[in-house]
Amino acid sequence: MAAAQPGRLFLVPAPLDFGCAEVVPLDQLMPAGTIAIAAGLTHWICENAKSARSYLKRIAELQPLALPLREQTIVELPRHVHKKGDHAGEFDARHLLAPALQGHDVGLVSEAGMPAIADPGSSVVRAAHELGVPVVPLVGPASLLLTLAASGLNGQNFAFVGYLPQEPAQRTQRIRELESRARERGQTQQVIENPNPNPGQWVAQV
Amino acid sequence: MAAAQPGRLFLVPAPLDFGCAEVVPLDQLMPAGTIAIAAGLTHWICENAKSARSYLKRIAELQPLALPLREQTIVELPRHVHKKGDHAGEFDARHLLAPALQGHDVGLVSEAGMPAIADPGSSVVRAAHELGVPVVPLVGPASLLLTLAASGLNGQNFAFVGYLPQEPAQRTQRIRELESRARERGQTQQVIENPNPNPGQWVAQV
């Protein structure tokens, strides 16, 4: 049965040091408000349950969790959503928000950075809007914006276009297409690359 | 004379409540690391000295400043840079980084949010790269990304294109152009609007 008042969907950013040897203390990179809200949640939708648990362990070092980790409800987005993405609207995530309809606040978290930006999660946000569940994005690291600001390239007009194709001819063609957009519009074109196990990215503008 | 080792240019995000009646405590929205670095700086480049000082006063309530406010060096970007923007590369900001060449760390701050993103500042970042001054972006609020994540629209492929024209015919034409890009590419088109004295924005995708 639905609660009189649904819970909220919090978009909880995660640190960017996933898989890195050097780890900065969490409270140096995340606002206290974000950490306090995350510590108070007991229901999670995540990209990967193992890394969500490991993130919650780091939060617990700073602030007691509302429930012990083993008692938290943590559900993963289905594997095919990771692979194909959920931005095109094919995946209906409404069933994942059942706890919110029962009145629980729910956290959405991805492997690193802001959920639903260059990461899965937008299907859950759309489902929340459809179900009347309020969506609250929390402040935290977002690699795309940090990189763009530090690049010195045009931050008044920019596009993030995801990954480049791996196949060499397609890759060259894609880079030329992005170069031509950058030239015609003065629009910074930002892509994401994964040259090694740690995510990295670069920004291109002609 | 240039120091053996230049200072760094820190991109210091500012809270998004500029001009709002309701103000959230700064440490709820900004990571302790960002606040500590900002409190330690004594040289600033800003969009508006008055609001930079008012931000520093809020920081000082949480952490003692390295120098009293009246002894800090705070320089504004020239007025024509605010109006026309500095993203097109016409403004040479190298002279503003003289303190960095003398070995001082320098903070770049705008009125709200991340400097150089939908705000002036990219000329200073480019000048830093030209002069060999390391650029360090700090984590904090960025309205574009928070809005995009909370919209549920495609966050794997999106463009931020700044303000819409004010003139009605041009405005309609621009919206049609953005609609057509969104449709052809499945690319979220994000614009910024200023319907009242407080900045607001919306996100559009067909």
Confidence of residue B54 (pLDDT cuts 50, 70, 90): very high
Would the CB atoms of B32 and A27 count as touching at under 8 Å?
yes
8 A C-beta contact, residue A27 and residue A62: yes
Look at residue B201 in the predicted model and tell me its pLDDT: 46
pLDDT bucket at B198, cuts 50 / 70 / 90: very low
Which of the four pLDDT bands, split at 50, 70 and 90, describes residue B196? Answer: low
- Cβ separation A29–B126 shorter than 8 A: no
Chain B contacts of A110, Cβ < 8 Å? none
CATH number of B143-204: 3.30.950.10
How close is the nearest chain A Cα to the Cα of B181, in Å? 12
pLDDT tens, position by position, B11-49: 999 998 877 778 889 999 999 999 999 999 999 999 999
Higher pLDDT, B198 or B188: B188
Contact B154 A87 (CB under 8 A): yes
CB B73 within 8 A of CB B99: yes
Name residues 170-199 of chain B within 8 A of A (Cβ): 186-187
CB contact under 8 A, A139 and B141: yes
How much of chain B, in percent, has pLDDT values that exceed 70? 92
DSSP result, A18-77: TT-SS---HHHHSBHHHHHHHHH--EEEES-HHHHHHHHHHHHHHS--SS-GGGSEEEEP
DSSP readout, B108-175?
Answer: EE-SSBSTTSSSS-HHHHHHHHHHT--EEE-----HHHHHHHHHTS-SSSEEEEEEPPSSHHHHHHHH
Q: Distances from the Cα of A104 to the Cαs of A46, A54, A78, A85, A165, in angstroms?
A: 16, 22, 21, 26, 41
Say what the pLDDT of residue A84 is: 72
Chain B residues with CB under 8 Å of A156 CB are 85, 87, 118, 162
pLDDT for the residue numbered A197: 44
The reply to whether A143-204 shares the fold of A9-137 is no
A51 and chain B in contact, CB less than 8 A: no
Helix axes A32-40, A49-62, angle to 10 degrees: 120
Alpha-carbon span A24 to B195, nearest angstrom: 40
**Residue B195 pLDDT level (bands cut at 50, 70, 90):** low
Residue-level pLDDT at A88:
75
**pLDDT digits 0-9 by tens, B155-170:** 999 999 998 998 999 9
Please choose, from the candidates B78, B110, B102, B114, the residue with its C-alpha nearest in 3D space to the C-alpha of residue B8: B102
A161 vs B32, B146, B157: nearest CB: B157
Chain A residue with Cα closest to B30 = A31
Q: pTM above 0.80?
A: yes
pLDDT the model gives residue A198: 44
| CATH number at A9-137 | 3.40.1010.10
- Nearest residue in A to B26, CA atom: A31
Structure confidence at residue B1 (pLDDT): 56
For residue B125, list chain A residues with Cβ-Cβ distance below 8 A: 149-152
Domain layout of chain A by residue ranges: 9-137, 143-204
Asked if the C-beta of B205 comes within 8 angstroms of chain A's C-beta atoms, the answer is no
CA atoms of A154 and A149, how far apart (whole Å): 9
Quick check: B128 pLDDT over 70? yes
Assigned token pair, B112: 């709200």
Measure in Å the smallest separation between the Cα of A148 and chain B Cα atoms: 8
Task: Say yes or no: A140 contacts chain B, CB-CB below 8 A.
Answer: yes
At A53 the pLDDT is: 95
**Whole-number pLDDT of residue B139:** 95
Which chain A positions have a beta carbon within 8 Å of B88's beta carbon?
154, 186
CA dist list (Å): B156 to A114, A191, B94: 12, 10, 35
Chain A interface includes B30 (CB < 8 A) = yes
Strand order in the sheet with B9-11: B73-76, B43-46, B106-109, B9-11, B135-137
What pLDDT, on the 0 to 100 scale, is given for residue A203?
52
Compare B96 and B18 and report the one with higher pLDDT. Answer: B96
Q: Which residues of B touch A87 (CB under 8 A)?
A: 154-157, 186
Question: Kind and range of the H or E element at B56?
Answer: helix B49-60
Q: What is the ipTM of this complex?
A: 0.89
Q: Tell me the pLDDT band of B76, cut-offs 50, 70 and 90.
A: very high
Q: Answer yes or no: do A156 and B87 touch at CB < 8 A.
A: yes
Can you give the pLDDT at residue B81? 78
List the structure tokens of B38.
């900002």
C-alpha–C-alpha distance, residues A158 and B148, integer Å: 14
Query: Tokens 């057509």 — which residue?
Result: B180
B9 close to A (CB below 8 A): no
Q: What is the pLDDT along chain A (206 residues), one digit of tens a residue?
A: 567 799 999 999 999 887 777 888 999 999 999 999 999 999 999 999 999 999 999 999 999 999 999 999 999 998 887 777 777 778 899 999 999 999 999 999 998 889 999 888 999 999 999 999 999 999 999 999 999 999 999 999 999 999 899 899 999 999 999 999 999 989 999 998 876 544 444 455 43
